[in-house]
Copies of this chain bind each other. A is one copy, B any other.
Amino acid sequence: MKNKGLLLVVSGPSGAGKGTVVGGVIATSDKFKLSISVTTRNPRDGEVDGVNYHFKTMSEFELMIHNNQLLEYMEVYGNFYGTNKLFVEEMLDNGYDVILEIDTKGAMAIKKLMPDAVMIFITPKTLDILTQRLVGRATETKEQIDRRLSESARELSFADQYDYIVINEELDKCIDQVANIIRSEHCRTKHCSQIIVDFSK
């Protein structure tokens, strides 16, 4: 029997650098697969369909909901975001570890549906550092920054719902740490039932 892969849920406040961390982790092993979210929002400059998101129209998205093709979905500021159920299940069945990079709302929904999911929260060391990073983005208006700050505070309030909290102080260390956590989780007794069965024969 092929061992099933692990489902990893990665969240963190805006400004934590979780996208970069997840990209780095994916690059460390061909056993890791990134789940690409489905969304109804318009692509931003440089975003590629099937790479950053699967971009869908509202009616395509509604059809996916209707056909039970989404593991979870939700609305954020008028746009819908969801997780492709078939992709996640097929990859897990084939022994890949699947990483979902989603916000805390989506993460809590996944945790309820799949209690064995490994929940990882990525964050800068202090709130001050996070604020500096968000304010330092010169491309954004004051309102956009304020909105991000209040979103971040909201995201941070969910940190204690996660299995792991990883500080992103140095990118390489943070990537190593997350990859370590995945390797360690493969040794957790609850994911090793096959071995216990082997010994009882």
Contact = CB atoms under 8 A, between A and B. Distances in A.
Contacts of A199: 123, 126-127, 156, 159
Given A165-B189, A184-B164, A189-B164, A159 B198 contact: no
A69 interface: no
Interface residues of A, number: 29
A87 interface: no
Nearest to A120: B187
Contact of A187 (B166, B188, B196): B166
B177 A160 contact: no
A80 interface: no
Contacts of A166: 187
A177 B181 contact: no
A188 B162 CA distance: 8
Contact of A183 (B159, B177, B188, B196): B177
Given A181-B187, A187-B177, A195 B127 contact: no
Interface of A: 121, 123, 125-127, 156, 159-160, 162-167, 177, 180-181, 183-185, 187-189, 192, 195-196, 198-199, 201
19 contacts: A123-B195, A126-B198, A127-B201, A156-B199, A159-B196, A159-B199, A160-B189, A162-B189, A163-B188, A164-B188, A164-B189, A165-B187, A166-B187, A177-B183, A180-B180, A180-B183, A180-B184, A181-B184, A184-B184
